[in-house]
């Protein structure tokens, strides 16, 4: 696949993140903020990757509350300043913490193969972040996602080992992921589990059927072990109905589990999901 087509694919995947209702109820404010930051990170990275002066360099981007942090190495002070201006040009970015180092002898990337690899990694990162935010058991966790050469690294905290393991499973089941390094720490802070449970219940009451349908469809498509294009999804009052065909009873069970784990889902009816060998 040509590099530009890969970029279009990455942009389309990242744009699924932006489909979340950013104008949703106040209870979803934190989720909306994280989705916006993921979208901004992707926009900055794409702008840098397409800039002929900056594309030869490895530049990492992280956005938090309107501040973009740039890390890596560039060749000159001009490159460093240019990267900052590119980041500031992205909507929603108010300031830049420019930590780029200058090295006149820095080795340039291979612009063809490395660009394709970075597009793939950026797509994986956006996809995993989305899956974690949509899942009722992981959406309240403080997890950072990073991808390098298809290896996903998860860092942050969780209130249980089950939630930690689920985050790793969601990442591992994502297309193009070669391996997962799960560095999430289990922190049994007082009241953490109760707070997470309350947030989950509250979020489940506020999301719309359209939001649930969208996220179930995307999660089925994002699962490397399912053909999400063959599964139809409909939601009424939080009850999700799955219809279509799968290749095995295991795939049917996985589709039910995937749908049931999306926040806001009250029940899953998979009676119309047929197993066809």
pLDDT in tens, the chain (277 residues): 434 433 444 444 444 444 444 344 444 566 677 778 888 888 898 888 888 788 888 899 999 989 999 999 998 998 999 999 999 999 899 999 999 999 988 876 655 456 677 778 888 998 898 899 889 888 767 889 999 889 999 999 988 889 999 999 999 999 889 999 999 998 865 544 554 555 445 444 567 899 999 999 989 988 888 887 789 999 999 999 999 999 899 999 999 999 999 989 999 999 999 998 7
| pLDDT tens, position by position, 267-277 | 999 999 999 87
Cβ proximity of 154 and 167 under 8 Å: yes
Cβ proximity of 36 and 22 under 8 Å: yes
Show the beta-strand stretches assigned E in the chain: 59-64, 67-74, 95-98, 101-102, 142-148, 151-158, 179-186, 231-236, 239-246, 267-275
Output the pTM of the full model: 0.59
Q: Is 239 left (phi over 0), alpha (psi -120 to 50) or beta?
A: beta
Pick the closest to residue 169 from 215, 132, 212 (CA basis).
132
Kindly report the backbone phi and psi dihedral angles of residue 41, in degrees, each rounded to the nearest multiple of 5, phi listed first: -60, -45
207-275: what CATH class? alpha beta
The two tokens of residue 14 are 């990242």
Give Cβ neighbours of residue 200 (< 8 Å, ≥ 6 apart): 136, 137, 139, 140, 263
Any idea where the domains of the chain sit in the sequence? 3-140, 207-275
User: Is the alpha carbon torsion for 42, 24, 140, 219 positive or negative?
Assistant: negative
Give ∠ CA 94-42-98 in degrees, rounded to 5.
Answer: 45
The owner of tokens 């932006």 is: 18
Cβ proximity of 164 and 182 under 8 Å: yes
- Which helix H or strand E contains 14, and what residues bound it? helix 3-17
Q: Three-state DSSP class for 69? A: strand
């Amino acid at each position: 696949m040509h590099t530009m087509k890969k970029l279009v694919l990455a942009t389309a995947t990242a744009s699924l993140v932006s489909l979340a209702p950013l104008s949703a109820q106040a209870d979803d404010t934190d989720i909306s903020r994280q989705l916006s930051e993921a979208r901004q990170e992707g926009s900055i990275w794409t702008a840098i990757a397409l800039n002929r002066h900056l594309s030869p360099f490895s530049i990492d981007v992280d956005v938090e509350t309107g501040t973009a942090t740039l890390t890596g190495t560039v060749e000159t002070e001009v490159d460093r300043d240019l990267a900052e201006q590119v980041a500031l040009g992205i909507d929603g970015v108010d300031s830049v913490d420019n930590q780029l180092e200058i090295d006149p002898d820095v080795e340039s990337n291979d612009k063809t193969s490395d660009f394709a690899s970075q597009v793939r990694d950026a797509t994986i990162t956006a996809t995993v972040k989305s899956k974690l935010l949509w899942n009722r058991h992981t959406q309240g966790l403080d997890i950072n996602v990073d991808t390098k050469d298809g290896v996903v690294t998860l860092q942050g905290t969780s209130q249980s080992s089950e939630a930690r393991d689920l985050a790793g499973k969601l990442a591992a089941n994502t297309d193009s992921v070669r391996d997962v390094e799960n560095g999430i720490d289990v922190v049994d802070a007082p009241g953490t589990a109760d707070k997470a449970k309350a947030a989950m219940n509250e979020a489940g009451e506020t999301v719309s059927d359209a939001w649930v349908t969208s996220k179930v469809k995307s999660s089925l498509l994002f699962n490397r072990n399912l053909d999400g294009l063959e599964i139809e999804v409909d939601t009424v009052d939080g009850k999700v109905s799955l219809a279509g065909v799968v290749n095995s009873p295991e795939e049917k069970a996985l589709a039910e589990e995937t749908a049931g784990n999306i926040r806001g889902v009250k029940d899953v009816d998979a009676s119309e999901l047929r197993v066809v060998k």
